[in-house]
Chain A
Amino acid sequence: MRAPQSRTETADVSGPFDFTLALGDDALIAAQRLAEWTTRAPEMEEDIALANIALDQLGAARLLLSYAGELEGAGRDEDALAYLRDDREFRNCLLVELPNGDFAVTMAKLLVLSAYQLPLYTALAGCADERLAAIGAKTRKESAYHLDHAALWVRRLGDGTEESHRRMQAGIDQVWPYAQELFAAQPQAPVDPASLRADFDATVSAVLAEATLTVPDSAWAPAGGRDGLHTEHLSYLLAEMQVLHRAHPGARW
């Protein structure tokens, strides 16, 4: 495993390995959070939908992490990357590690995540790296479904009852500042996230308007996930996710 110090010396956080790893980590941590809803959703249909989306995210994570392992060339496969890194080595955005909160917070998170992943994967599908292009071509279809699902629920909750409107606005307010980090410029990366911002804004503001919700106005823009500087939540998430794998070093499952 690489020590954080050696990282900074060779720092090229927008290189293909770091870029692929970051996207893989986004999908993996999102899957872990979404899967927490299993057996807890407000409707049986929603149990199925959330498990379905978690499964898509997990599938994307496996493709991206496997490829990241190959790019790195140090013999780490998807499981080594998922189970044997500590929180300081994870590169996911802060958004996906936030606790699920109530159903409105989860839908706010999913709206932001999928409105970012859809243009990202779409752009990736056309990038020069063949493997990333193939992954993008597969995952963008799934992201379109996730975005549909989140947008529908944000509209239902925003324009549902007074209670659901209040909760949905609170969910958006809570999640909104974390969107900033997603679009930090990486001019050398296979796709520069900064180039996706306009698309994202157009999608999300249309959904929020239809949902009778307001776009939050906040200057606070927490960040750090891409550098391994996370919220206090991630370490707990990883402790749970990795506990069994780490208890049996070298075992096959």
Chain B
Amino acid sequence: MYGNDFSGEDAPGGLLGEVEAAEAALRAAAERDRGAPGQDVDLAAYFAEVIDADQKIEPRDWMPEAYRRTLIRQIAQHAHSEIIGMQPEGNWISRAPSLKRKAILLAKVQDEAGHGLYLYAAAETLGISRDELVELLLEGRQKYSSIFNYPTLTWADVGAIGWLVDGAAIVNQVPLCRCSYGPYARAMIRVCKEESFHQRQGYEILHMLAHGTPAQKAMAQDALDRWWYPSLAMFGPPDGDSTHSAQSMAWKIKRFSNDELRQRFVDMCVGQAEVLGLTIPDPDLRWNDERQAYDFTQPDYAELMRVISGDGPCNRLRMEHRRRAHTEGAWVREAAAAYAAKQASKEKVAA
């Protein structure tokens, strides 16, 4: 398992161990039957009690409108990220350098589509349809992760995405396995397990390259150079500038701040980069004995904001691609609906 393979790990049992602990906690919470609130119970107080007791809010429960809206936004953007995130890696399926790597990459991109569907289903429990969410994405009214607006220029980028991008995603998502909304927490447990395999596969690609020919090693270093800061930026703006953080923490949707998770990711990567024999492109990266953590150079948050607002290298490309697939597939979806309607009416006649 990925947590035990690599040095530089920061918790006993590793991140996968945390996923398993979250899963056990979820089961225990489900066993403590909290029953439905009585007729004259104050719903807001009941909601607060459930959150305080680390129980899960379920779709049938009353919840503050802002909690519902925050979750819809967060889960939908997470789902959109899985779907848009298929593109940068999908870009290399046709050119994968061995049949084994091609098979692994195809399976990975297929998993991502599955994560997208799973997350859309979780969002739908909050009273919005997948079609509506897809419309919001296509109209540019909901975002997806900034990282997928960077191009995959070489095969090593596929490895870097697995190691760094999936790695950052896992660090971000493992605490979400304990998030207060039950369907999201359960989705995250499932996603994190598969994601950790992807991360391991990406690391393995880079490991092969870093221990291969000089050209392969150079390709791996170049990929690390280009993906390091965009990966750090995945954790979002620094804590002082993060708009949604405080309320999300109080609701136990978020468990750690952007900066805490970013630090954890850096601390995890340093040892892994050493095993690869690659250099993290940050001259100021060094161990701080006092903090028991690595000091590092922050990513360029002005660039992050530009990318989020639509001016990254591939924003236009990714959205055009998604819109084209949607538009060109319209006649197929219409045919499926027409066929289903005909079948249903035939059954009616037969009955």
Q: Which A positions have Cβ atoms within 8 angstroms of B?
A: 28, 32, 35-36, 38-48, 51-52, 54-55, 58-59, 61-62, 65, 78-79, 82-83, 102-103, 155-157, 159-161, 163-164, 167, 240-241, 243-245, 248, 250-253
Q: Determine which of A40, A79, A164 lies in contact with B99 in the assembled complex, contact meaning CB atoms within 8 Å.
A: A79
Q: Flag if A62 contacts B97 (CB, 8 Å).
A: no
In angstroms, Cα B43 to Cα A236, docked, is: 64
**Chain B facing A: main interface SS:** helix
Q: List 30 A-B contacts (CB under 8 A).
A: A35-B102, A38-B93, A39-B109, A39-B321, A42-B328, A43-B336, A44-B83, A45-B117, A55-B107, A58-B102, A62-B99, A62-B103, A103-B332, A155-B339, A157-B335, A160-B334, A160-B338, A160-B339, A161-B335, A163-B331, A167-B331, A243-B95, A244-B95, A244-B96, A244-B155, A248-B213, A251-B212, A252-B212, A253-B155, A253-B209
Q: How many residues of B contact A (CB 8 A)?
A: 47
Known: A54-B106, A248-B216, A251-B212. A38 touches B90 (CB 8 A): yes
Q: Flag if B336 contacts A240 (CB, 8 Å).
A: no
Report chain B residues within 8 Å CB of A45: 117
Known: A54-B106, A159-B339. A48 touches B334 (CB 8 A): no
Having A65-B99, A167-B331, A253-B208, one finds 17 other A-B pairs with CB under 8 Å, namely A28-B99, A38-B110, A42-B333, A43-B332, A44-B83, A55-B107, A58-B102, A61-B99, A83-B97, A103-B329, A160-B334, A160-B335, A164-B338, A248-B215, A251-B215, A253-B97, A253-B212
In angstroms, Cα B216 to Cα A234, docked, is: 28
B240 to chain A, nearest CB (A): 37
In angstroms, Cα B112 to Cα A39, docked, is: 10
Q: Flag if B335 contacts A78 (CB, 8 Å).
A: no
Contacts between the two chains (Cβ within 8 Å), count: 139
Q: Flag if A51 contacts B106 (CB, 8 Å).
A: yes
Q: Flag if B98 contacts A253 (CB, 8 Å).
A: yes
Nearest to A35 among chain B residues (CB) is: B93
